Structure 1
Amino acid sequence: MSTERRAPLDRKRVADTALGLLNEVGLDGLTLRAIANELDVKAPALYWHFKDKQALLDEMATEMYRRMVAGTALDPADTWQERMEKSCRGLRAALLAYRDGARVFSGSRFTGTDHAREMEENLRLFTAAGFTLAQTVRANATAYAYTVGFVVEEQGVQPLPGERREGYDVEDRARMLADFPLAAAAGTEIFEDYDRHFEEGLQLVIAGVEARYAG
C-alpha cells in the first residue's frame, strides 16, 4: 500500500492543473470532469473551491497574471509610452504561453488584489505625466483591449507557436480570392508575421493616445 501523500486540493492546485491541461485540450475541452480526472479526484470535489467553470477561469486568469509579473519590477524611469509598450508586450507574451490564453483572460475577474500594486504604479506614472485619471484609465483600457483582442485573433489562426489551424493557408486563400486581387493580397497582412503587425498596431494606439490626450 502506497504511503505517498498527495498535495492537498486547494484553489491554486486546481488552477495550476487547469492551466497545464489547457495546452492539451484548449478552452472548449477544459471541463471540470477533465480537470478532476487529471487530479485523480471526483468532479464534485472541485465545487468546494469553484462554484462553476467561470469561477475557475477567474482563478486561472489571476494565476496567469501572477506568473506574468512574478520577479519583474516596474521601472520608475519609464515614460508613459515605454510603460504602455512593456505592459502590452508582456501581456501578449503571457497569453501566448497558453492555448486559448486570450479567451481565458478576456472577461475574467481577478480573484484577489495581486494586480493592484502594478495598477497603482501605472496610474501614478500617467497622472504624473499630465494625464487625468479618466484619461489614464481610458488610454490603458484601450491598449489592453487591443492586446487581448489581437491575441484572440492570433490564436484563432495559431493556437500555439508553431501550430496553424487548417484553412489559414495564405496561398490557398489567394487562389480562392483571385477575382478580388486586393483582398487576396491582404492575406499576408492579416494572417502572417504577427509580431510585426502587433508592434505596428501598438504604435498606432500610442500615437492615438498622444494625439488625443498628450497634445
Structure 2
Amino acid sequence: MGTTKIDRTRVAATALRLLDEVGLDGLSLRAIARELGVKAPALYWHFKDKQALLDEMATEMYRRMAAEDLPATDGSWQQGLLAYNRALRAMLLRHRDGARVYSGARFTGTEHANSLERHLSAMTACGFGLAQAVGAGTTAYSYTVGFVIEEQGVQPMPEERREGYDIEERARRLADYPLTAAAGREIFTDYDRRFEEGLRLVVAGVEAVYGPGSVTGNPEG
C-alpha cells in the first residue's frame, strides 16, 4: 500500500469503474484508494475533496465522448443539436449515476472549448445572436441531463430497474385516478422514444422562438 504511482487520469478512470458498482452515494475516496492500492491521503495530493474528483470524472467522461462519439458538425444547426445531445445521453448512460456526476461539474481542462466554439460559430453563422446560440445549447443540454437523471432514477443501469417502479402495481394503486394510472406507462417506460420526442420539441421550440419570423428572431432581440 502507498507505493503505486497514480495520477489524476488514473484516479478518475478507477473512480468511474467503481461508480458502476456502488453508485454515487457509495463512492468514497477511501474506496477508490483501496482499488488503486494506495492509502487515502495519497489522493489528496491530486484532489482536495470529493467534488474535485467528481469534476475530474466528468471531464474524463467528456474526453471519452469527444474521442468516440461526438458527431461531425456538417449539416443544419438542428441536426447538430440533435446529434450532440444524443451522444451526451449515450455517454451519461454508460455509468451508474452518470448524469448526477456530470450535472454541475466544472471541467478541469479545455477540451470542451473546441466543440463549444464550433457550436457557437455554426449557430451565429446561421443568424443567431450569441445569447440565443448559448440559450439553445444550454436548454437542450439541461433537458438531456435532467432527462437522464430521471431515467437513471428508475433504471440505474441497462436491464436494471429499481424496486417500486412496477407499472401494473402502480396502476392498481392509482385505480381511482384512471388517467394518472395510465400515464405510468408513458412516464416510466420507453425512454429512447420519449427522449427523442422531447429533444425534438426542444429544437422545434428554439426554431419557433429564435428563428426567422419569430417575435425574438432578431439576433439583438
TM-score tier (shorter): over 0.9
Is 1:185–2:182 an aligned residue pair?
Answer: yes
Paired residue secondary structure (1:41):
coil
Structure 1: unaligned runs, 5 residues or longer: 1-5
CA displacement 1:102-158 (0-9 Å, x = unmatched): 000000000010101111001010001110000000010000000000000000000
4+ residue runs of structure 1 moved beyond 3 angstroms? 71-74
Rounded Cα–Cα distance in structure 2 between residues aligned with 1:208 and 1:74: 22
Rounded Cα–Cα distance in structure 1 between residues aligned with 2:92 and 2:42: 28
Identity of aligned residues (%): 69
The 1:151/1:72 distance shift into structure 2, 3 A limit, reads closer
Q: Any conservation in 1 of the 2:55–2:108 contact (CA below 8 Å)?
A: yes
Paired residue secondary structure (2:47):
coil
How far 1:204 sits from its partner (Å)?
Answer: 0.6
Match of 2:78 in 1: 81
CA displacement 1:16-62 (0-9 Å, x = unmatched): 00000000000000000100110111000000000000000000000
Q: What TM-score results when the alignment is normalised by the length of structure 1? A: 0.95
Match of 1:93 in 2: 90
Determine which of 97, 101, 109 is the counterpart of 1:104.
101
Determine which of 41, 46, 50 is the counterpart of 1:49.
46
The 1:173/1:76 distance shift into structure 2, 3 A limit, reads closer
The 1:162/1:175 distance shift into structure 2, 3 A limit, reads same
Paired residue secondary structure (1:139):
helix
Structure 2: unaligned runs, 5 residues or longer: 213-221
Q: What TM-score results when the alignment is normalised by the length of structure 2? A: 0.93
Q: Any conservation in 1 of the 2:4–2:38 contact (CA below 8 Å)?
A: no
Match of 1:164 in 2: 161
Rounded Cα–Cα distance in structure 2 between residues aligned with 1:71 and 1:153: 25
Determine which of 23, 28, 31 is the counterpart of 2:25.
28
Determine which of 137, 141, 145 is the counterpart of 2:138.
141
Rounded Cα–Cα distance in structure 2 between residues aligned with 1:150 and 1:29: 22
Cα RMSD over matched residues? Answer: 1.1
Paired residue secondary structure (2:170):
helix
Match of 1:11 in 2: 8
Please tell me the residue identity of whatever aligns with 1:176. Answer: R
Is 1:121–2:123 an aligned residue pair?
Answer: no
How far 1:75 sits from its partner (Å)?
Answer: 2.7
How far 1:78 sits from its partner (Å)?
Answer: 1.7
The 1:193/1:135 distance shift into structure 2, 3 A limit, reads same
Please tell me the residue identity of whatever aligns with 2:205. Answer: G
Paired residue secondary structure (1:70):
helix
Match of 2:219 in 1: none
Q: Any conservation in 1 of the 2:4–2:36 contact (CA below 8 Å)?
A: no
Paired residue secondary structure (2:58):
helix
